[in-house]
Amino acid sequence: NAGVMQNPRHLVRRRGQEARLRCSPMKGHSHVYWYRQLPEEGLKFMVYLQKENIIDESGMPKERFSAEFPKEGPSILRIQQVVRGDSAAYFCASSRGQGGSPLHFGNGTRLTVT
C-alpha cells in the first residue's frame, strides 16, 4: 500500500498518560502535515515537517504537544499528559511540497482520553 499510513487507528489513554501517533507518508513524499479534527468541526492545522525539520508549527499547542519526522522512520505526533480535551481525530497528510500539490491523507488516529 503506497498511501499514507497512520497507526494506531484507535488509541485510548487515561488522563495524564502519553499518546504517540505515527504516520508514514506516501512513497516519494517528503512533506508531512498533521491536522486535528474535533466533532462537528473542520480540520485545524497543527504542524508541517520535512525530514528532520519542523517547517511550521504555528498550530501546535505551546505545551504537551511535539512532533518529529526523523531521517529514518515515520513521523511522530506526541502528546504528553493527555487531557479529555485532547480527544479528537488526528490526521496526517503528505505531499510533494510544491505549490498546488494536493494533500494525501491517512485514515486518521482517533484518540479517546478517559
Partner 1 sequence: AQSVTQLGSHVSVSEGALVLLRCNYSSSVPPYLFWYVQYPNQGLQLLLKYTSAATLVKGINGFEAEFKKSETSFHLTKPSAHMSDAAEYFCAVSLNTNAGKSTFGDGTTLTVKP
Residues that bind partner 1 (CB under 8 A): 4, 6, 31, 33, 35, 40-45, 48, 55-56, 91, 93, 95-108
Least distance from partner 1 to the Cβ atom of residue 81, Å: 27
Alpha-carbon distance of 29 to 98, in angstroms, equals 11
Q: What is the DSSP code string of 58-76? A: TTS-SSSEEEE--SSS-EE
Least distance from partner 1 to the Cβ atom of residue 51, Å: 14
For partner 1, give the closer residue by CB, 19 or 93. 93
Contacts of 36 (CB under 8 A, 6+ apart): 43, 44, 46, 88, 89, 90, 91
Least distance from partner 1 to the Cβ atom of residue 104, Å: 8
